Amino acid sequence: MQDRYGREIDYLRISITDRCNLRCRYCMPEDIESFKMSEILTFEEIISIVTEAAKLGIKKIKITGGEPLVRRGACDLIRMIKRIPGIEQVTLTTNGVLLKDNLAEIKDAGIDGINISIDTPDRERYRSLTGRDELDRVLEGLWAALQSGIKIKINSVCPDIDGSQDLSDVFSMIGFAKDNPVDVRFIEMMPIGFGKDFRAIGHDILIPAIRERYPDMTKDNESHGNGPAVYYRIPGYKGSVGFISAIHGVFCQSCNRVRLTTLGYMKSCLCFETGVDLKSIIRSGLSEEDKKKALRAGIEEAILCKPAQHSFDNLKRISEKHVMAAIGG
């Protein structure tokens, strides 16, 4: 369905857990308390919401978290969502730690694409940033995924770990696109959760520096997926380089999404708390038919509440208080 600004909303991101096996400093502190299992949506509840959302025109689903692969049965959920009438595409965003172990099952479930988050290809900096020495396992997952035939994207938020604005990690990350048909995407750090106080390299610095290194880089107008990324091709590279510039690029006019948090709240925009509590509708004891109707009304309301654009340039106006792991990125 369309929102108040005529944007077609056909994409739903679902955070299926707030738990994670990493502790990226901009996302989750070591001692964070997780929600109780009874507070988070069951798979059955997620399926009910997606089924009603599909009737309103949601066609594409992203499974995210926290780390989605730490939730038992994540692959079964992918399989179940793939079977919902109207759902055309299910993709996954993962940190990659458990990817190799789960890859066969994920593929068998029918996944349409996997985004793997790797902020630095340097083992020591990775350990320092994520609190865990897991880069080797992540890279094993990445190589296995690249060989599996599944469409793969790499996401990086370009942390400025030591405050030097050193871009060597950025250029190493672009190196993955040289011999592999992979989109390497740089996501600008958003002032949400712990990201507010974390230093990262802004795209006002990053994009000109990459252009200078690769002056032959040309804009790629082909569609690469659901999101606001702008893609470029470097001559001789099998993959591409993408930018999701939440701060230095305004892309809200083509926003196509809503988000379902781990607690079952449908968020209208990443920046604001506005949305609808679908969990209380689902758990209100209504009859099946009334519940379906109320869910559709709730989803419609969340879509119609979408603001024209975010306010990441004005910290005072950001009302979102949750950590990114509960929202799903």
Closest separation in Å from C-beta 216 to ligand SAM: 28
Say which DSSP state 243 is in: E
| d(C-alpha 45, C-alpha 56), whole Å | 17
Q: Pick what 121 binds: ligand SAM, ligand SF4, none; C-beta below 5 to 8 Å, kind-dependent.
A: none
| d(C-alpha 266, C-alpha 41), whole Å | 12
**Ramachandran angles phi, psi of 233, nearest 5°:** -115, 140
Q: Pick what 23 binds: ligand SF4, ligand SAM, none; C-beta below 5 to 8 Å, kind-dependent.
A: ligand SF4
260 burial type by CB count under 10 A (0-12 exposed, 13-18 middle, 19+ buried): buried
Q: Residues 142-171 vs ligand SF4: string with x where CB under 6 A?
A: ------------------------------
Q: Residues 13-52 vs ligand SF4: string with x where CB under 6 A?
A: -------x-xxx--xx------------------------
Q: Kindly state whether residue 65 participates in binding ligand SF4, applying the rule CB under 6 A.
A: yes
24-27-31-34 Cα dihedral, nearest 10 degrees: -120
| d(C-alpha 223, C-alpha 226), whole Å | 8
User: What is the Cα 28 distance to its own chain's centre?
Assistant: 15
Strands 11-15, 257-260: pairing kind: parallel
Q: Which range, of 47-55, 101-109, 186-194, 224-232, touches ligand SAM by CB under 6 A?
A: 186-194
Distances (CA, A) of 2 to 21, 278, 304, 305, 306: 37, 20, 8, 11, 10
Closest separation in Å from C-beta 65 to ligand SF4: 6
Q: Kindly state whether residue 193 participates in binding ligand SF4, applying the rule CB under 6 A.
A: no
Q: Kindly state whether residue 91 participates in binding ligand SAM, applying the rule CB under 6 A.
A: no
Q: Which range, of 89-97, 138-146, 217-225, 305-313, touches ligand SAM by CB under 6 A?
A: 89-97
Q: Kindly state whether residue 130 participates in binding ligand SAM, applying the rule CB under 6 A.
A: no
Q: Which range, of 41-49, 167-175, 189-197, 211-219, touches ligand SAM by CB under 6 A?
A: 189-197
Q: For the segment 74-103, give every residue that binds ligand SF4 (CB under 6 A).
A: 95
Q: Which range, of 30-38, 131-139, 184-192, 293-301, touches ligand SAM by CB under 6 A?
A: 184-192
Q: Kindly state whether residue 65 participates in binding ligand SAM, applying the rule CB under 6 A.
A: yes
246 burial type by CB count under 10 A (0-12 exposed, 13-18 middle, 19+ buried): buried
**Ramachandran angles phi, psi of 260, nearest 5°:** -115, 115
Nearest CA-CA partner of 258 in 200, 291, 220, 304: 304
The residue count for the chain: 329
Q: Which of 95, 180, 261, 262 binds ligand SAM (CB under 6 A)?
A: 95
**Token pair for residue 194?**
């712990």
Closest separation in Å from C-beta 208 to ligand SAM: 20
Q: Kindly state whether residue 67 participates in binding ligand SF4, applying the rule CB under 6 A.
A: yes
Catalog residues that contact ligand SAM under the rule CB under 6 A: 20, 26-27, 64-65, 67, 93-95, 117, 155, 157, 187, 189-190, 192-193, 195, 324-325, 328-329
Chain residues binding ligand SF4 by CB under 6 A are: 20, 22-24, 27-28, 65-67, 95, 117, 325
